Amino acid sequence: MRAMMIRITDTLFIDESDIQLDFIRSSGPGGQNVNKVSTAVMLRFNVVQSEALSEDIRDRLRHIAGKKMSEQGILTIKANRYRSQDKNRKDAIARLVALIRQATFKPKARRKTRPSRAARERRLSAKRKRSEIKRRRRRVKISKDS
């Protein structure tokens, strides 16, 4: 039996067997349904062992995921938005795909720039104007000698 592939981009696919899904009881209101049925989904994806991801994508994914990724490189997503197990499973996979897709975009390198001479002069001129306005608001001390 061949596992299904999950499409991330046109060229990137991850194997569905790389994803571990656990069904847990959801918290919050819902009456007997919450107490009896495990509708929430806990998705785990081992980023370090995934052969589909390049080293750059792994690094960016680690940065983007933040607290969702453990020290061992396991990305955990909990989905309990819906009351249906199937909808929560689809939601968890969609969130995983969105995270990986976001990691595929290489950030644009920042180039250092400096403000132009005219921009510096405009800034200093605006500061002088503001300073003058504030200086005119001050109370004038009247001496008793005059």
Residue 11 DSSP SS3: coil
Q: Does a structural domain hold residue 25?
A: yes
> Per-residue DSSP letters for 81-101?
SSSSHHHHHHHHHHHHHHHHH
Helix or strand (DSSP H, E) at 20: strand 19-24
Q: Does a structural domain hold residue 119?
A: no
Q: With bands split at pLDDT 50, 70 and 90, how would you rate the model's confidence at 2?
A: low
Q: Does a structural domain hold residue 114?
A: no
Whole domain around residue 41: which residue ranges? Answer: 5-104
Helix or strand (DSSP H, E) at 62: helix 55-65
Q: Does a structural domain hold residue 26?
A: yes
CATH number, domain at 70? 3.30.160.20
Q: With bands split at pLDDT 50, 70 and 90, how would you rate the model's confidence at 1?
A: very low
Domain count, the chain: 1
Residues 6+ apart with CB under 8 A from 50: 14, 18, 58
Q: With bands split at pLDDT 50, 70 and 90, how would you rate the model's confidence at 135?
A: very high
Q: Does a structural domain hold residue 117?
A: no
Helix or strand (DSSP H, E) at 124: helix 117-137
Average pLDDT over residues 81-98: 85
pLDDT (tens digit per residue) in 28-60: 666 666 666 777 888 888 877 777 778 888 888
Q: Does a structural domain hold residue 29?
A: yes
Q: How many other C-beta atoms can be found within 10 angstroms of the C-beta atom of residue 138?
A: 7
User: Can you give the pTM of this predicted structure?
Assistant: 0.65
Q: Does a structural domain hold residue 63?
A: yes
Q: Does a structural domain hold residue 110?
A: no
Rounded Cα distance, 142 and 108, in Å:
61
